[in-house]
Amino acid sequence: MADKVRINLANAYELQELPGIGPEEAEAIAAFRAEHGPITDRAQLTRLLGQQPLAEALWQRVDFSAAETTAPEAPGA
């Protein structure tokens, strides 16, 4: 099984690894995150992608974990 893709951290290229996500959908996801923050669940992603039927394979690969809000400090910082 292929690895999961963290939809809230992946760039547009990485998002296209998800089944059914092409360049336009990847850009829409990235633009949404930039304006509204993390995508929280399946229903929100479905609305964002225009209610199109999304393959079950997509849901098996997508991870909705939110992006970390802060990065850990470097040692000695």
Per-residue pLDDT in tens (0 to 9) along the chain, 77 residues: 468 999 999 999 999 999 989 999 999 999 999 999 999 999 999 999 886 777 888 899 999 987 665 444 444 44
**pLDDT at position 1, please?**
47
Task: Give residue limits of the domains in the chain.
Answer: 5-63
70, with CB counted inside 10 A (0-12, 13-18, 19+), is exposed
pLDDT of residue 71: 45
Structure confidence at residue 51 (pLDDT):
67
What's the confidence (pLDDT) of residue 70? 45
Planar angle of CA 25, 68, 60, nearest 5 degrees: 45
Contact 52, 13 (CB under 8 A): no
Q: Check: CB of residue 49 under 8 Å from CB of residue 32.
A: no
Question: Which residues on adjacent β-strands are paired with residue 6?
Answer: 63
Please tell me the predicted confidence (pLDDT) of residue 2: 63
Distance CA 50, CA 75 (A): 45
Kindly report the pTM of this predicted structure: 0.78
